[in-house]
Chains A and B, each alone.
Chain A
Amino acid sequence: MRVWLPALLILLLLPLFLPRYPVEVLTQGFILALFASAFNLVFFQLGLLSFGHAAFFGTGAYTTALLVTKAGWPYLLTLPAAVLVAALFALVIGFFSVRTSRIYFTMLTLAFAQLLWAIVHKWYAFTGGDNGIPGIPVGSFATSAAGLYYLALALLAAGLYFLYRLDRSPLGYALRAVRDNEARAEAIGLSPFALRLLGFVISGALAGVAGFLQVAWQRSAFPDFLYWTKSAEAIIAAILGGSEHLLGPALGALAFVELGAFVQARTEYWPLVLGLVLLFLVLFFPRGLAGLLGRRDARG
């Protein structure tokens, strides 16, 4: 805790000193951090690699975008709805997916997310098709760079605190028990299917919060929010940062976004640089950025 309080204080004071652009970049970092941390709940605690988390990010974002533009809801009030809809999609997709394991789980989550993407991409009457929903009025608070910064920081901090408590709770131990030895977990009375589904739904709901924030950041919603490359961003951030550490995915996301902004200001070949960085990290630093800080103590 000694490290985190000053870090939080610095993050709270930053918008007072920084110009608009770096504040916006940091905000994007917080959003991806929340998305990657949500993904990591399924990846680390359940031991399942989801390639479909863009589905929950995207449905959360589109719920907010549609409620604001079609029903005239104030932006901030759409948060519960975005969480609920993302959780519902996670419930349906998870219901089918968590029965399978390994590569089949990865492919099934990918298939469902791509199915939703295909529908959003083509349903011009409802979702705007491949034009997306541009020019969403998100209110003066979320329009100001500092306002959105604090909103994203608050939701990220709340999300991370929630994940921290979950990690230490009996539920966290139960999830890891199912991950490590399904047969034994079942023998002591745990229900692997129910636990996996619960973890998956919580993860989807958190990803929906990130989607809700993304709408304000871009003041638009696009089908790309549901495309498989969006899911890949969460995976990269989580593994880059170190999925074993609670803060690893968030650190990875911040590094990913900051590096992206730095490189994009200098060259258009950001994917090339990212690809080379990933090659280098996978081949030489397999335990991620958090791996440099120290090992997570072996628990439960």
Chain B
Amino acid sequence: MELDLGFFVQQFLTGLATASTLFLLAVGLSLIFGALGIVNFAHGSFYMLGAYLLYWVARGDPEGLWWGMAVVVAIGLVLGALVERIFLRPVYPRPEHHQILLTYALLLVIEDGVKILFGSAYKSLGPPSALAMPVWILGAPFPAYYLVQILLAAAVAVLLWLFLKRTRVGLWIRAVTQDREMLEALGVPVPRLLTGVFALGIALAVLGGAATLPMQTVSPGVAVEAVISAFIVVVVGGLGSIWGSLLGAFLIGEIQAFGVMIWPEFSIAFVYLLMAVVLLVRPWGLLGRPPVVRT
């Protein structure tokens, strides 16, 4: 079988674009689980909300994409902080299933809230005119906007890594995943820190959703699919690990891109299979850390 290199590169880049979206979606979920210990079932809902907010802010004008995304991320930060303060803070001491039920309730409310505000119809926003034409890579056309998505995800990954490794707040966030009580004893304002982490995670999900709008339509049903995709990425890569989310997103994106070529009907089944295998072999994920056994 003759493999066309241009086509191969095209599939690879398409997979990379999918991976970029998945990374932005999942990294916030991972951060939130690491710091707050909460599995956020509403994470995909905020992702969906991001796309709707961009549609609303840009008023259907593709040129409004850049400043629109900035506004939407700011809204995401505020919204995340509010949700954490009002709904999550009371349930930190509760059993896990209460937290899951609470975030599932948020999923339901956001899904119908979006229907009330924007209607059930699909919404879309084309790419800005500068990016409307495809770029040619090795003789194959490739949507220019995909490159923007890939660069955006790469920039977020590097900035997030610098933030966590090189700043004091980043140090606290890493510390709070290890030992919340010790950090409190050291005088760090932990409740405010957790609000900040949740707001950051939600802002990233909102950014991820908004960034897909120039290429994909959005509908209220996106949320339940997105949150499962985010779980897969985070579980494969390792809960709480940023590089894990990046690796997980890369693997899932490429499996989908090439799985479609090999066995189109069941490419999504491959992804769930990978998730199950990783959970069996390395439950803490490919780049996650095994849980510390406390005695």
- Residue ranges of A at the interface with B (Cβ–Cβ < 8 Å): 43, 49, 96, 100, 102-104, 106-108, 110-112, 114-115, 118-119, 122-123, 228-229, 232, 235-236, 239, 269, 271-272, 274-276, 278-279, 282-283, 286
Q: Given the complex, which residues of B lie within 8 Å of A114, measured CB to CB? A: 228, 272, 275
A275 vs B273: C-alpha distance in the bound complex, in angstroms?
A: 31
Interface of B is mostly: helix
- Contact pick for B101, options A107, A111, A228, A235, CB 8 Å: A235
In the complex, the number of residue pairs spanning A and B with C-beta atoms less than 8 Å apart equals 109
Kindly provide the distance from the CB of A259 to the nearest chain B CB, expressed in whole angstroms. Answer: 13
- Contact pick for A100, options B94, B106, B239, B283, CB 8 Å: B283
Q: Please state if A275 and B101 are interface contacts (CB–CB under 8 Å).
A: no
Q: Please state if B104 and A278 are interface contacts (CB–CB under 8 Å).
A: yes
Q: Which residue of A lies closest to B97 (CB)?
A: A49
Total contacting residues, chain B, CB less than 8 A:
39
Q: Which residue of A lies closest to B268 (CB)?
A: A118
Q: Please state if A271 and B97 are interface contacts (CB–CB under 8 Å).
A: no
Q: Among residues 89 to 103 in chain B, which have CB atoms less than 8 Å away from a CB atom of chain A? A: 90-91, 94, 96-98, 100-102
Q: Please state if A279 and B112 are interface contacts (CB–CB under 8 Å).
A: no
Q: Given the complex, which residues of B lie within 8 Å of A107, measured CB to CB? A: 231, 235, 275, 279
Given known A-B contacts A108-B279, A108-B280, A122-B269, A278 and B101 have beta carbons under 8 A apart = yes
Kindly provide the distance from the CB of A226 to the nearest chain B CB, expressed in whole angstroms. Answer: 12
Q: Please state if A115 and B104 are interface contacts (CB–CB under 8 Å).
A: no
A287 vs B247: C-alpha distance in the bound complex, in angstroms?
A: 40
- Residue ranges of B at the interface with A (Cβ–Cβ < 8 Å): 39, 87, 90-91, 94, 96-98, 100-102, 104-109, 111-113, 115-116, 224, 228, 231-232, 235, 239, 265-266, 268-269, 272-273, 275-276, 279-280, 283
Given known A-B contacts A103-B96, A107-B231, A111-B275, A272 and B108 have beta carbons under 8 A apart = yes
Q: Which residue of A lies closest to B102 (CB)?
A: A282
- Contact pick for A278, options B90, B91, B105, B239, CB 8 Å: B105
Q: Which residue of B lies closest to A283 (CB)?
A: B90
Q: Please state if B272 and A111 are interface contacts (CB–CB under 8 Å).
A: yes
Q: Given the complex, which residues of B lie within 8 Å of A271, measured CB to CB? A: 108-109, 111-112
* Apart from A103-B239, A108-B276, A108-B280, 5 more pairs, CB < 8 Å: A102-B96, A269-B112, A271-B112, A275-B107, A278-B108
A261 vs B90: C-alpha distance in the bound complex, in angstroms?
A: 31
- Contact pick for B280, options A96, A106, A110, A229, CB 8 Å: A96
Kindly provide the distance from the CB of A210 to the nearest chain B CB, expressed in whole angstroms. Answer: 20
